[in-house]
A and B are shown apart, each in its own frame.
Chain A
Amino acid sequence: MASKFINITLKIWRQKNGTTKGALETYGLNNVSTDSSFLEMLDQLNEQLINERKNPVAFDHDCREGICGSCSLYINGRAHGPDRGVTTCQLHMRTFKDGETIYVEPWRSRAFPVIKDLVVDRSAFDRIQQAGGFVSVNTSGRTIDANATPIPKADADKAFEAAACIGCGACVASCKNGSAMLFVGAKVSQYALLPQGKVEAQQRVLNMVRQMDEEGFGNCTNTGACEVECPKGISIENIARMNREYLKAIVTEE
């Protein structure tokens, strides 16, 4: 990996907390290695700010390998930035040019209020999961043998593709309606495709959709932006499957 170094200008959203107004501020940053990840570039900026005795930029991050779903930056007008199939932490500075100006904003959605700078509160997703994103089984150690219920490979594979969702919220941030239906569709599909999840599929989809609406997420109008920006390539087929599940549930509900 032969590193190159670039100089960039950053326009970053700064907001003290959820009750104050924010604004874009401009920072210059030199000698950024093209092998650095986007978050490592922000580390470098923060080191510079700390040395100038200024407040560093707050941003969410944890695993830095694309699996925890906490990094959530809107870069140059796109969730997780210009590259495809990546989270912000997997975006590398080689994607940018020397001298480029880069805009960095938090997720924009009413259901994800800003906590500080680039950090948003995504606990709405947790509440949707809590409403039904599970199979009701206790940890008794007395469940049935995992091989007692054969699962067709095609179903297991599709369930796995839906389960790859990391709940980052890029789908919501990218959607002009602020819809969370790719996220909810992925969760509903994962369980609806597996025999162990089918038993309570009807109640699950009704509960999760109800919670999704209560949280203030918008509806899907099939623009497909979510699928394009999803770092895990979750297909909007899952939204269609959720809609089928929902219709089935609503007409058969007792």
Chain B
Amino acid sequence: MCRSRNTLSDTLVDEVSGNIIDQCVAQGVPFAREYGGLLDNRSFGGTQVQRTFYAAGQTGQQLLLGAYSALSRQIGVGHVKMYHRHEMLDLVKVDGKARGIIARNLVTGEIERHSAHAVIIASGGYGNVYFLSTNAMGSNVTAAWKTHKRGALFANPCFVQIHPTCIPVHGTNQSKLTLMSESLRNSGRIWVPKKKEDAEAIRAGKMKPTQIAEDDRDYFLERRYPAFGNLVPRDVASRAAKERCDAGYGIEANNTNEGVYLDFSSEIYSKGKQAAFGQGDHAPSDEKILELGKKWIEEKYGNLFQMYEKITDENPYETPMKIYPAVHYTMGGVWVDYNLQSTIPGCFVAGEANFSDHGANRLGASALMQGLADGYFVLPYTVSNYLADEIRTGKISTDSAEFDEAEKNVRDQINTFLNNNGTKSVDSFHKRLGLIMWNKVGMGRSEQGLKEAIAEIEALRTEFRKDVFVPGSADELNPELEKAIRVADLIELGQLMAQDGLQRNESCGGHFREEYQDAEGETLRDDENFKIVSAWEYKGDDIRQEELHKEALNYEFIKIAARNYK
């Protein structure tokens, strides 16, 4: 977790991670158990020991459902009022403090004013700036970006995690990318053909991966990183896959040839043999080994294998999976202090929407841990502490000049879109933004590429404002209008990400500047100049004018060192 606040990462890992598991189990989250009844463990990316608790291949989903059930209980008893199908479109500040929001009822289109003594933003990350990502389609940066525009600093926007195990792109109508759980790297070995002609034959459909002899396979992670092998951190695994594909060894027959194999045959064999021995058969036939091995795989990853087969129409029990990196998580976000309060008093930001814990590179199984830690164990104390000084503040009226101004701001934006009468769909702009971001602010970045990206995004924004077409009206369910508002913010954010990447003259974690690498292609950090958080202040419509503030990072508990996964 380089470039993160040491004390905060430390708190997350040492002090509350155990509490989170206890809390979730108490809520009824069905974590996997050993036969003895205790919690089961497994390993994950960036680690060499088995220390991760899990619920099959859908731990995150189960933690989410656990939180949903706990929230449902609070709604049921009347402690929380839920507004379904609503979107926050502006933050309202009164006397410098966050005092409410403007929201749009997505069903009726009504613009609503909500006042409060404090506002908490927990709106997730901004991976959809790349158009294609593993994020849900509804994920966006709007709540966080509006907060930024109202004065909250936005930190480390260029730190993006590109996850190595996603299903490759199938074509131009692709709308999102599917993550195959990282847990698969426990059992799968990643490879491409050693010979370029084999890769070409595979792409042309003239050869199958199972026909390539063991000696003709390049297990490039095991070759480059023998100590961690297939379990190197996500950024390292992703770049290594890109390096092989850029060199012409990619195996996917899409227009970029981007794809590598994730092969389970070794694991199937070894687990099958273990299972046979366990049954007392010390001379099992190959047939029996394969049968038992596949059964073991099915028990561990059955749902993922099924999901893969549904998407690709290939059976991963028989042929290796095809995978390629995709945008998965954004480490940057709204700058917050140790109480998760942004630079706007009374505006707190939790989970992926803030920048706080992961630095330049998030390790496996920590996104939900952070979200739950922020929500369950940090905010209840820090928000209460803030509210203690507000104990004599009465109900805040929504009938004020500040609410008037914010509401007008929202209405103006909506009307501009609906009356724009342009010629191109919102998605067409979003896809173009995504391509610029993926090619120039993606896995490999350079000074020249970033400068080009900034200029291209600026031009795209001008064209978007002039030529986007948003059908329908403001007073109905209008998904195109929702998307237009979000894409407007993503375009501005994209430009800031490129600017942030341009100022950070080093390679660290998910930020790989091609100018800063060693002879073996590993990252070169610059601890003297960039042991900082870059926090940007909004300075009006021209994103180039954003002002950079630097927060120095101090490490008390760990020694700064280059990571070595070899």
Chain A interface residues (CB < 8 Å from chain B): 1-3, 16-17, 33, 35-37, 39-41, 43-44, 47, 50-51, 53-56, 58, 61-68, 83, 85-86, 90, 92, 94, 115-116, 119, 123, 126, 129-137, 139, 141, 143-147, 150-153, 156-157, 159-160, 163-164, 190-191, 194, 196-197
User: Complex: how many Å from CA A141 to CA B82?
Assistant: 24
Min CB distance B419 to A, Å, is: 14
Q: Give the number of residues in B that approach A within 8 Å (Cβ atoms).
A: 74
User: What residues on A are CB-neighbors of B61 within 8 Å?
Assistant: 67
Contact for B137 among A64, A83, A126, A132, CB less than 8 A? A64
**Complex alpha-carbon distance, A37 and B144, angstroms:** 31
Task: Collect the chain B residues with CB atoms within 8 Å of residue A1's CB.
Answer: 170, 252-254, 312-313
Contact partner, B171, options A33, A145, A146, Cβ 8 Å: A33
Which residues from B are CB-within-8-Å of A50? 425, 469, 471, 480
B26-34, B213-221, B289-297, B456-464: which one contacts chain A?
Answer: B26-34
Residues in B whose Cβ lies below 8 Å from that of A196 = 25-28
Q: Is B433 located at the chain interface by the 8 A CB criterion?
A: no
Contact partners of A163 in chain B: CB under 8 A: 29-30, 55, 62, 65
Can you list 13 A-B contacts with CB-CB less than 8 angstroms, sorted by A residue number?
A1-B252, A40-B173, A44-B173, A47-B428, A50-B480, A53-B469, A68-B136, A90-B310, A123-B84, A135-B26, A146-B26, A160-B56, A163-B30
Q: Report if B409 contacts A (CB, 8 A).
A: no
Stretch at the interface among B174-182, B184-192, B331-339, B360-368: B174-182
| B36 contacts across to A, CB distance below 8 A | 150
Inter-chain CA distance A190–B65, complex, in Å, is 12
A56-B471 CB under 8 A given contacts A2-B253, A62-B136, A116-B477: yes
**A36-B173, A47-B427, A92-B311 known; A136 vs B73 contact (CB < 8 Å):** yes
Distance between Cα atoms of A116 and B303 in the complex (Å): 33
Contact in complex: A143, B28 (CB < 8 Å): no
- Nearest 6 A-B pairs (CB), nearest first? A150-B37, A130-B76, A146-B25, A35-B170, A156-B33, A134-B69
Q: A131-B76, A139-B70 given. 10 additional CB < 8 A pairs?
A: A33-B170, A36-B171, A43-B427, A55-B471, A67-B58, A67-B61, A130-B72, A137-B23, A153-B34, A159-B30
Interchain pairs with CB closer than 8 A, number? 189
Query: Within the complex, what minimum Cβ distance (angstroms) separates B109 from chain A?
Result: 11
Taking beta carbons and an 8 Å cutoff, which residues of B are in contact with A?
16, 19, 21-39, 55-56, 58, 61-62, 65, 68-70, 72-73, 75-76, 82, 84, 107, 134, 136-138, 170-171, 173-176, 178-179, 205, 252-254, 303, 306-307, 310-313, 375-377, 380, 425, 427-428, 469, 471-472, 476-477, 479-480
Residues of B close to A64: CB separation below 8 A: 136-137, 175-176, 178
Chain A nearest CB from B520 CB (Å) reads 33
Nearest Cβ distance between residue A135 and chain B, in whole angstroms?
5
